[in-house]
Amino acid sequence: MPRTRPAPSHQHVHDWLTAHADSTGYRVKEVPLDQLEGWHTDPDTGNLVHHTGRFYSVEGLEVAVEDDATRDLALSRHHGEPGDRRWEQPIIVQPEIGILGILVKRFDGVPHMLMQAKMEPGNINTLQLSPTVQATRSNYTRVHQGNAVPYLEYFTRAGRGRPLADALQSEQASWFLGKRNRNVVIETDDDLPVLDGFRWCSPEELRGLLHLDNVVNMDSRTVLAACLPPSGAGLAPDEDSFAGALTRSAAAPSRLTGLTSRFTGIKARRNLTRRRIPLARAAGWQRGHDRIDRADGRYFSVLGVDVHAGDREVAHWSQPLLKPAGRGVIALVARRFDGVVQLLMRARTDAGTFDIAELAPTVQCLPGNHGSPPPFLDLVLSASPERIRFDAVHSEEGGRFYHAENRYLIVEADDVPPEAPEGFLWATLRDLQELVLHSHYLNVEARCLLTCLLALR
Amino acid sequence: MPRTRPAPSHQHVHDWLTAHADSTGYRVKEVPLDQLEGWHTDPDTGNLVHHTGRFYSVEGLEVAVEDDATRDLALSRHHGEPGDRRWEQPIIVQPEIGILGILVKRFDGVPHMLMQAKMEPGNINTLQLSPTVQATRSNYTRVHQGNAVPYLEYFTRAGRGRPLADALQSEQASWFLGKRNRNVVIETDDDLPVLDGFRWCSPEELRGLLHLDNVVNMDSRTVLAACLPPSGAGLAPDEDSFAGALTRSAAAPSRLTGLTSRFTGIKARRNLTRRRIPLARAAGWQRGHDRIDRADGRYFSVLGVDVHAGDREVAHWSQPLLKPAGRGVIALVARRFDGVVQLLMRARTDAGTFDIAELAPTVQCLPGNHGSPPPFLDLVLSASPERIRFDAVHSEEGGRFYHAENRYLIVEADDVPPEAPEGFLWATLRDLQELVLHSHYLNVEARCLLTCLLALR
């Protein structure tokens, strides 16, 4: 059980992760939904539920979004997105709040994060780097009757360390109905043992790993948004690099109330109405014996898997997973104003958004799935290489999503108009770092991109 | 139309308000619910709804609150409040988000607030001091077909001033299902006309008025929480008064993450489950031809009123109002630690709480209505006069509540234990001032008490 800081190279961490993957007998097999052990389809509603009524369910949702601003401006025709939208879809309902927690400890003054090699059935490469604790409420209150969750007490008992961040944060609102997890960072001085499968990682190692495809999982990325120090923090104030101009906003006067005011104004004039409906009645969706999907193959499908795992709390289980219809694009457009980088955020409302709207990346979509392309998609996909500040493929939560990949892009574009279009807002890195300490400002895709911003060197 | 600052005396403002009240022909008459014009009782559900389906409705709600912490500690027996609670009740459903906005302008460097003399049918004294704009969405989008709302454009159009605060904030969660209004403060330099019924008020005048019973309405109090400067701000740092010790926290290092972490921990282990049910099925409640109430007379009743008003957007209308079963107590216990005042907040979950729990005053109850008294009620009601820092009766929103009064108390008690009981948290004035800029931290009763704190001299 090493208690010292590992050599500062992300390659070492990656080798350790790969070695760990080879040593486990983790197997995932697709099975028809009708044969999913422990799960059944309610004969009245068509909803997919666990026999205990716990964990999560797949149900139907009817959604209507009205927006005075886009209706008035008839922006719908410009942007290919109607001001008023109305649709039905399957959605994952998981009211329980889990814990995504990272334990931080300083070695030689540098904060290190205790990360975990963790398998999830939906992961493309099985094993990814996870937070210290990644546990649903069912996990940690032992509904599974599995093993105890290591290091849990740092996050559930007060006084076991200093909280650096702690808020309920939303997850993929296209696929989850109002789902949140507690995102929590605790700093400790304890000389605690490092268990097998865990490792202290430096900020520099994590930055390196974040540039690799499908290594740092979503649960890590969302929590790192609140604790990874920006690499440009030590740069000279006149540093002309993108990272320098990015972190320069820390010295600029706070404009946060201006930003939150525009955001609150958008929320106040947007109406999100929704009603849970029987899944069997969701228009456009069909239920086969093996999966739930659409005749046109768009958006996503729901399938089932059998999982055999060596070192999880439970050694064998079955579950449904949501599989997106393709690889998505999650992109941030950046532009410098007076030497300070501004990031173009979009106030976005999805089927499952907890509170009307959250600040999302400039672009967040499955290209080709939604009729005409959303604003700025062409700009980010056609950006010349010297404009691209970040480009890596990352996975979304492998415990609920099957091979759900997104291309995360940060593009500097000095030719976008300084006036943000209706529903968009310019924000600085500092703004995002302040907002991520509170609930329901940044959606999970924006938090993941914030972590990518902090990984820039 | 005076454009200059009025003489700095709250008595002048009070005289102006009283004179304005005498000049209007405002009449409110109780009428049976069955004869309420424009409203009807749905024959299937018993819900009380407007014929347009807009404005608001009175429906039934089934509520269950589970809390791991209180269950484990069996605090229920100590405090007379079971750890797990389950009940049914009528509740007001009003999904639309209105605007409560105050316009601020500096005269000789001192920020003044543009306040309004406004009548509401539920007010005991008819007319109270309101924010610059107090409008439901139906008001300001002209569903009533009434007059335009003065000064509205400062709050709905960007660039008409500098936002000082702007967030969606909850209202009485015992009576409203997840209701929020936009609380917004805009500072302007415009030389704008002061219309009849409006007046610029100084912080000193507002502080004086807040010590009077039933003068400053709830809508003003909740917005003032985000913009009234503390009177102690100009005091010497060694000032030994309560106000001095209160504002000293502004100089102390921020402990906000410690506080939000404890609050997030409480929310993560508390479960709020609720379901809208037909009002006719709400157990314990009965519907007569004239009102909705309980056989035991507890909690509240719902009655109807006819209103004739001279200068409102609409000159005559009828509406249901909720009438509490008595005068409530809303109290804050304060204690000094190392010369800094700490305030004892309670993480409170009511039927209509938007997001599981909000920080509430130490005590918030209708004495005698809830079996054994809640914690600290006896302490605040039996406090000797020299311990009482604030004591005034204020009304809750007269547009929805009928003669709903609460006694607002701030009590300094150096004999309360420094360890906050389960579900309670110590916070400084600075903490509350930071939290009030964001949604869903402070409930409306806590925000009103925060304004009372800022009124201390």
A&B contacts, CB < 8 Å:
81
B278-319 residue pLDDT tens = 999 999 999 999 999 999 999 999 999 999 877 656 688 999
A375-389 residue pLDDT tens = 999 999 999 999 999
Would you state the pLDDT for residue B23? 64
- In whole angstroms, give the CA distance from residue A431 to residue A253: 10
- In whole angstroms, give the CA distance from residue A117 to residue A125: 12
Residues of A with Cβ-Cβ distance to B257 under 8 angstroms:
163-166, 437
Would you state the pLDDT for residue B7? 47
Contact state of B437 with A260 under an 8 Å Cβ cutoff: yes
Is A439 within 8 Å of chain B by CB? yes
Within 10 A of A62 (CB to CB), how many other CB atoms are there? 17
User: Any idea which of A14-18, A77-81, A135-139, B44-48 has the lowest mean pLDDT?
Assistant: A77-81
Within 10 A of B74 (CB to CB), how many other CB atoms are there? 10
Chain A residue nearest residue B157, CA to CA? A265
Residues 6+ apart with CB under 8 A from B334: B242, B246, B341, B342, B343, B344, B389, B410, B411, B412, B413
Would you state the pLDDT for residue A239? 67
Across the interface, which of A168, A257, A261 has its CB nearest the CB of B268? Answer: A168
Contact state of A261 with B439 under an 8 Å Cβ cutoff: no
Tokens 């996990």 belong to A139
Q: What is the DSSP letter of A216?
A: B
Q: Which of B66, B100, B166 best tests the A interface by mutation, with the highest count of A CBs <10 A?
A: B166
- Residue A74 CB-density burial (10 A; 0-12 exposed, 13-18 middle, 19+ buried): exposed
Would you state the pLDDT for residue A341? 94
* Mean pLDDT of the residues in chain A: 90
Tokens 């709830």 belong to B218
Residues of A with Cβ-Cβ distance to B265 under 8 angstroms:
156, 158, 166, 182
- Residue B76 CB-density burial (10 A; 0-12 exposed, 13-18 middle, 19+ buried): middle
**B363 has a pLDDT exceeding 80:** yes
**B233 has a pLDDT exceeding 80:** no
- In whole angstroms, give the CA distance from residue A134 to residue A140: 9
Q: Per DSSP, what are the bridge partners of residue B229? A: none
User: Any idea which of A329-333, A398-402, B154-158 has the lowest mean pLDDT?
Assistant: B154-158
- In whole angstroms, give the CA distance from residue A285 to residue A88: 9
The answer to ipTM > 0.85 is yes
Contact state of B163 with A97 under an 8 Å Cβ cutoff: no
The dihedral region occupied by A97, where left means phi > 0, alpha psi between -120 and 50, and beta the remainder, is beta
Contact state of A267 with B168 under an 8 Å Cβ cutoff: yes
Within 10 A of B61 (CB to CB), how many other CB atoms are there? 20
pTM, entire model: 0.93
Among positive and negative, which fits the CA dihedral B223, B224, B225, B227? positive
Q: Report phi then psi at A178, rounded to 5.
A: 60, 25
**A69 has a pLDDT exceeding 80:** no
Q: DSSP string covering B136-199, please?
A: -HHHHTTTT--PPPTTTHHHHSTTSSEEEEEEEEE--TTTBSS-EEEEEEEE--------TTEE
